[in-house]
Amino acid sequence: MKTLAKRRILLVEDEAFIAMELEDMLLDAGAEVVGPVADLPTALAAAEGEEIDAAILDIMLGREEVFPAATVLATRQVPFVFHSAHAEADKLRKRYPDAALYSKPVDTEALLSGLAELLA
């Protein structure tokens, strides 16, 4: 498996169990996890101010969409992937053509591989 050793990955996920699972997955792959972040204001602050190599973004954070943080990351040229149970793939492709979408429940191997490819 490709490694994420020493890469700083922003994790934005508002469901605690999923956040813990993704955090464990990233740590096992050698990444340093920034977060997990569970709300849009904190996600925006992290997207704007943290030194990160990539991000995993849940689309719905409570009743808010993560898109303002995604736009900041895109402006900073920080690669990111979305993961969601409620995503409209066509809508995402139009707004963020370079971002992959992983549906919940996420295939962790596919997600790790996708992140490694973004960072290669």
CATH assignment of the domain containing 23: 3.40.50.2300
Give the burial string for 34-59 (b: 16+ CB within 10 Å, else e).
bbbbbebeebbebbeeeebbbbbbbb
Domain count, the chain: 1
C-beta separation of 86 from 39 below 8 A? no
Where in the sequence is the domain holding 54, given as residue range(s)?
8-119
Query: Has residue 14 been placed in a domain?
Result: yes
- Whole-prediction pTM: 0.92
Residue 60, domain member (yes or no): yes
The answer to whether residue 2 is domain-embedded is no
Give domain status of residue 89, yes or no: yes
pLDDT class for 103, splitting at 50, 70, 90?
Answer: confident
At CA 16, angle to CA 100 and CA 101, rounded to 5?
10
Q: What are phi and psi of 18, to 5 degrees?
A: -65, -40
List pLDDT tens digits, range 61-96. Answer: 999 999 999 999 999 999 999 988 766 666 777 888
Alpha carbons 22 and 36: distance in angstroms, whole number: 9
Assigned domain for 113 exists: yes
Residue 31 lies in a domain: yes
Beta bridge partners of residue 61, listed in sequence order: 64
> Which is higher by pLDDT, 72 or 99?
72
Q: Which residue has the higher pLDDT, 104 or 30?
A: 30
pLDDT tens readout for residues 7-59: 999 999 999 999 999 999 999 999 999 999 999 999 999 999 999 999 999 99
What pLDDT is stored for residue 87 in this prediction?
Answer: 64
Residue 1 has pLDDT above 50, yes or no: no
Question: Would you state the pLDDT for residue 98?
Answer: 83
